[in-house]
Structure 1
């Protein structure tokens, strides 16, 4: 029987890897909850409290605990293995989501303080299915070409989940209270995780080894993540800014929110196309070089969006920008996985994931301030300039890495 190295590196070859389809499908079912539960929580809190301010605080706590505690939860996955760590996390997360749904089913049934506390606890237990799946891909597809395609496929699928999730919520609230969406999100998480941890590929992942001394893998993993985390945070910031700028641009030109949605759809479509192309091409350039080029490409496309005079031109520029988004995030994950110690691969992916989400949050906040002072076009150009500076920083990091010599890989530098 041929090994993974003998298989033609294509998306079909990725899905032909033993247990890959089953494991990936189960992970996607669970991850669909990420696109359904948060929006459902926000709509349900708004309906139950009658206050956008309360909904904003509750969502901020839910998102903050989910995002910023992700590396800590990933450390449990690395330490105890996916099966032993994910099951209690899912039980706590979905149990708290269920409690939140009960509290929100009838308006006024719970105080804002109770809602905020339960939401914060639910967010703190969010299972890191994305980073865990990417770590499993690293075991299923040890060949770098196959792994690149697996990561690209994963990134594109995740992009589609975050587009389809809100659409499903929109359909659901047409005939049920928003709290029902929280229940659906919890059910998807339970079903997906159950299928994921029962997969032979996941059952074969061993628990990590506790290392003696004051420098455990959870701290050492940070040493190799400078470039991918910086790049991920920058692309997250760009996404957070663009979301609000597109809405501001549409309103400033006399268009409604529906027009802005079409422009943002062009961004997602460009990202999906870019991700598929990135995974299909057999790149000769190193991942570090590609990361810098992708950041520069995104920066130039955002600068080109600045002079746009109409929604059509803006949509075209944003679609081109999207072409670089998914490849950049995928490449950041690849570099992080290469740099990580074997017992800290989930943590490495979680740090990149946290950087993207933190960047989105910071970008949205920055855009909210800047859009009141500057024209949208200037804000697009400023965001593009941030990406160009990031490209230079990433390129300099790659150049310093080459100074270690050809006999030392990033993983060698990390573990010596």
Structure 2
């Protein structure tokens, strides 16, 4: 625990991190709040699904563009306008859903506007961690582990907060709360002196002399170049997202098959608890193995644990296996973000983190959708094996890419007491 206190004792770290978490909590509350607000009264679940789908698709589709703007224009000039625009769109959606009867085109338009301007607070915070930690690789690993665990906690606490809120208030209030959280958190985050440090550094980089080598490198920089540099963390994150999305639906089918649907919550809680504990333990350990080597190993371990779930005889054994699987999730994503940051170009680190995050989210949705047909045609045990397959494939691709592209950027040698870590 003292290692994490050292992270928070960095100049302005606790202040910056706390304000970022306030804003990021919005992402833990907005989807459920939006769904409940749209489906309440004379609304319908199908109508709510349409509007939420528009929101989710616009968030994902334009995420790399928003991250690229931050890399090229600076955090202060881009993040605050995005956050305030996002909050305004959510406030409009809350007003439109306060009473039933708003036309579908208006709801979808507001959802599209909100999704298009959703501020990338997570990738931006990881960029700030790199600035605050400097060259201390061990400290960087702990900072990113803490950040990933915090995201896991937000994923749990956000829906719980909405659940409590709707007991006493209109569901649209949850959408308004999401707007307030992101506005207050981002405005407070902008007051951190770390933001100014990053802005000054970016400005100096942009004004550096345009030598022939620099010009050639700048022309190669872009989304395609970024993706080619970070293929190992990208493939691992996508495989893990597909596998976890597929596994979540397989767990639902398993619980229903054993006539214990209420136990689904226990399996989900077990995986979340395992992820939190695993993330905290991972960040505190001084690893001798380089991060790019650890990434495929962690991914393969998760894939094997998902496949093992198919052997569970009852829901309680499945819950135990899910908890053990969760132990690898936060460490794996922490490692993926760190590797992406190490391999990315100096001017595209926010974009690199966003691509990894997007690969995981897109994979999760795809895996959930693809598991439905598999459950209808195959034995349940085989479905868990199918869920594990993309995770193991992602591990294989990450390992192969690492071996053939180790010259992209030399990994720093490890020491007896300091892990060779990377930054995200």
**When the two structures are superposed, what TM-score results if normalisation uses the length of structure 1?**
0.92
Aligned match of 2:123: 131
Aligned match of 1:249: 254
What per-residue deviation string (whole Å, max 9, x for no partner) do you get for residues 87-108 of structure 1?
Answer: 1101110101011011101011
Aligned match of 2:140: 147
Aligned match of 1:349: 353
Three-state SS of the structure 2 residue aligned to 1:116 is: helix
Aligned match of 2:153: 160
Q: Distance in 1 between matches of 2:225 and 2:89?
A: 33
Shift of 1:113: 2.2
**After alignment, is 218-227 or 305-314 more displaced?**
218-227
CA RMSD of aligned residues (A): 2.0
Three-state SS of the structure 1 residue aligned to 2:377 is: coil
- Checking the alignment, whether the CA contact within 8 Å between 1:292 and 1:395 is kept in structure 2 is yes
Q: Distance in 1 between matches of 2:46 and 2:229?
A: 40
1:229-268 correspondence to structure 2 within 5 Å: 229-256=234-261, 258-268=262-272
- Checking the alignment, whether the CA contact within 8 Å between 2:240 and 2:394 is kept in structure 1 is no
- Checking the alignment, whether the CA contact within 8 Å between 1:48 and 1:105 is kept in structure 2 is no
- Checking the alignment, whether the CA contact within 8 Å between 1:9 and 1:146 is kept in structure 2 is no
What per-residue deviation string (whole Å, max 9, x for no partner) do you get for residues 53-74 of structure 1?
Answer: 1111111110111122111101
Indicate how the Cα distance of structure 1 residues 395 and 173 shifts in structure 2: closer, same or farther if over 3 A, else same.
same
Aligned match of 1:338: 342
Aligned match of 2:281: 277
Q: Distance in 2 between matches of 1:301 and 1:407?
A: 29
- Checking the alignment, whether the CA contact within 8 Å between 2:23 and 2:185 is kept in structure 1 is yes
Indicate how the Cα distance of structure 1 residues 115 and 281 shifts in structure 2: closer, same or farther if over 3 A, else same.
same
**After alignment, is 239-248 or 225-234 more displaced?**
239-248
**After alignment, is 285-294 or 41-50 more displaced?**
41-50
The answer to whether the aligner puts 1:88 opposite 2:92 as a matched pair is no
1:6-405 correspondence to structure 2 within 5 Å: 10-48=3-41, 50-108=43-101, 110-142=102-134, 143-206=136-199, 207=202, 209=206, 214-256=219-261, 258-402=262-406
Indicate how the Cα distance of structure 1 residues 38 and 64 shifts in structure 2: closer, same or farther if over 3 A, else same.
same
- Checking the alignment, whether the CA contact within 8 Å between 2:226 and 2:344 is kept in structure 1 is yes
Q: Distance in 2 between matches of 1:125 and 1:301?
A: 37
Shift of 1:25: 0.4
**After alignment, is 208-217 or 74-83 more displaced?**
208-217
Q: Which runs of 5+ in 1 are unaligned?
A: 1-7, 410-416
Q: Which runs of 5+ in 2 are unaligned?
A: 414-424
Q: Distance in 2 between matches of 1:408 and 1:149?
A: 17
Shift of 1:222: 2.2
Q: Distance in 2 between matches of 1:336 and 1:21?
A: 24
- Checking the alignment, whether the CA contact within 8 Å between 1:41 and 1:182 is kept in structure 2 is yes
Aligned match of 2:420: none
Aligned match of 2:419: none
Q: Distance in 2 between matches of 1:405 and 1:238?
A: 29
- Checking the alignment, whether the CA contact within 8 Å between 1:152 and 1:330 is kept in structure 2 is yes
**When the two structures are superposed, what TM-score results if normalisation uses the length of structure 2?**
0.90
- Checking the alignment, whether the CA contact within 8 Å between 1:217 and 1:341 is kept in structure 2 is no
Indicate how the Cα distance of structure 1 residues 326 and 407 shifts in structure 2: closer, same or farther if over 3 A, else same.
closer
Say how many residue pairs are matched: 400
**After alignment, is 27-36 or 389-398 more displaced?**
389-398
- Checking the alignment, whether the CA contact within 8 Å between 1:245 and 1:380 is kept in structure 2 is yes
- Checking the alignment, whether the CA contact within 8 Å between 2:230 and 2:352 is kept in structure 1 is yes
